């Protein structure tokens, strides 16, 4: 045997020994419970928690028991998860108020009914012909009873007496013409009855509404907002009546009906001046045309409450001039409302009057009396309980309703 053959024999033996040793080692490991591991299989795919099959391996349906790392990012599979549907949002229907130009025409009949006694009574007296002193006194009493006031009643009687003396007896149509002319002069159609309703020098016009308890201020503010919305104005309401529990809610409801925002405090008894200030500021930020500030009703003879009203006015004026101060008067109070009007005018400087409840038991003469007393015009009148029963005051339509 050559040396090469001998070498190959040794190599073969060595390989055999290695194979045997490898087999022995494998058997020894099995005996101790050891096992060879397969190659790691691909990590299961996690589904979105809560979705069908969540936590299961999508490949074989086995439960995924691997702990979820804290920073594991889950990608939502839109095809596997049913899309959530939100309930429809209910948008409140916004009303379209009646145009101001048509309101007084519609309400004229009501106005005429409320003044029937005045007009018919005067015409019946004046159409008699030869009037003696007693008859003229009766004419004057009729005017005073209609809340025209003593001074205005005396003035009107003197004018009528002069016309009767000059023209002698006259038919009813002629007397009606005299009465219309003289009453219209007393109502004074030359007074400026416009309402501040447009931006002034790049800021919203500010309207402050004041009055005694029960006059209908908050309702009037809501109705005035409807008048201005009908004129396509952007309005903000300020609920500065913070003492009457339902006042802010009531005003907000009025605003929501016509899509107008309300600035208010959720805390009863909050500082009304602060609410008024925030309302004017909010209106400025929204670039509104007008902000209308409602105030708490107060008795004219309560000094503390009137001082507080003066404070509201001063605080507003630190931010913006006040363009309009409207005094709301209940027309049925007649002459008793005139003293109230005087005190409010002294404290906040009234620029206009709103007469509510002019239908029913009210006497039309209060229009003349309050204007003469304060020297400011009646700008709006309320003739009913409907949301659009507030109208700009028209002197000619008012007098025509009396004498027709």
Binding-site positions = 211-218, 294-298, 356-359
Dihedral of alpha carbons 99, 393, 289, 213, sign: negative
Residue 377: CB partners within 8 Å, gap ≥ 6? 188, 191, 192, 193, 352, 353, 371, 393
Q: Cα angle vertex 265, ends 261, 293, to 5°?
A: 55
Output the six-digit token pair for 322.
């006040």
The phi and psi torsions of 184 (rounded to 5 degrees) equal: -60, -35
Contacts of 101 (CB under 8 A, 6+ apart): none
Partner residues linked to 262 by β-bridges: 237
CB-facing half-sphere around the CA of 61: CA atoms within 13 A:
0
CB 198 within 8 A of CB 291: no
Comparing CA positions, the residue from 242, 286, 281, 285 lying closest to residue 260 is 286
Give me the long-range contacts of 311-318 (CB less than 8 A, separation at least 24). 311/273, 312/208, 312/240, 312/272, 312/273, 312/276, 313/208, 313/347, 313/348, 314/273, 315/273, 315/274, 315/276, 315/277, 316/206, 316/208, 316/273, 316/276, 316/277, 316/280, 318/277
Instruction: Enumerate the known binding-site residues for GTP.
Output: 211-218, 294-298, 356-359
Distance of CA 42 to the CA centre of its chain: 64
CA-based angle 365:155:355, to the nearest 5?
20
For residue 293, the cross-strand partners are 208, 238
């Amino acid at each position: 045997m050559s040396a090469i053959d001998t070498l190959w024999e040794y190599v073969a033996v060595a390989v055999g020994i290695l194979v045997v040793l490898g087999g022995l080692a494998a058997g020894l490991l099995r005996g101790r419970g050891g096992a060879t591991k397969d190659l790691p299989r691909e990590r299961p795919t996690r589904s979105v928690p809560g979705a069908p099959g969540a936590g299961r391996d999508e490949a074989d349906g086995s439960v995924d028991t691997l702990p979820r790392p804290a920073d594991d990012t889950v990608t939502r599979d839109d095809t596997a998860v049913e899309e959530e549907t939100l309930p429809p949002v209910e948008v409140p229907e916004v009303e379209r108020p009646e145009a101001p130009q048509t309101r007084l025409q519609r309400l004229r009949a009501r106005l005429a009914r409320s003044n029937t006694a005045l007009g018919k009574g005067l015409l019946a007296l004046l159409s008699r012909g030869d009037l003696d002193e007693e008859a003229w006194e009766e004419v004057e009493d009729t005017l005073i009873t209609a809340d025209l006031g003593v001074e205005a009643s005396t003035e009107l009687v003197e004018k009528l007496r002069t016309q009767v003396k000059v023209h002698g007896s006259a038919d009813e149509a002629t007397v009606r013409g005299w009465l219309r002319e003289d009453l219209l002069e007393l109502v004074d159609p030359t007074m400026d009855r416009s309402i501040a309703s447009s931006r002034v020098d790049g800021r919203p016009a500010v309207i402050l509404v004041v009055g005694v308890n029960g006059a209908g201020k908050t309702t009037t503010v809501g109705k005035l907002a409807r008048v201005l919305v009908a004129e396509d104005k952007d309005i903000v309401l300020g609920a500065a009546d913070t003492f009457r529990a339902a006042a802010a809610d009531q005003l907000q409801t009025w605003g929501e009906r016509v899509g107008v925002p309300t600035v208010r405090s959720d805390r009863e008894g909050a500082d009304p001046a602060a609410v008024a200030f925030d309302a004017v500021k909010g209106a400025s930020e929204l670039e509104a045309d007008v902000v209308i500030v409602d105030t708490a009703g107060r008795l004219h003879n309560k000094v503390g409450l009137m001082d507080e009203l003066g404070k509201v006015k001063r605080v507003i004026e630190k931010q913006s001039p006040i363009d309009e101060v409207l005094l709301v008067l209940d027309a049925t109070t007649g002459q008793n409302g005139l003293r109230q009007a005087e005190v409010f005018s002294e404290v906040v400087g009234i620029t206009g009057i709103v007469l509510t409840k002019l239908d029913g038991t009210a006497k039309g003469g209060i229009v003349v009396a309050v204007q003469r007393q304060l020297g400011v015009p009646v700008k709006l009148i309320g003739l009913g309980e409907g949301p659009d029963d507030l109208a700009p005051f028209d002197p000619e339509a008012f007098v025509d309703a009396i004498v027709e």
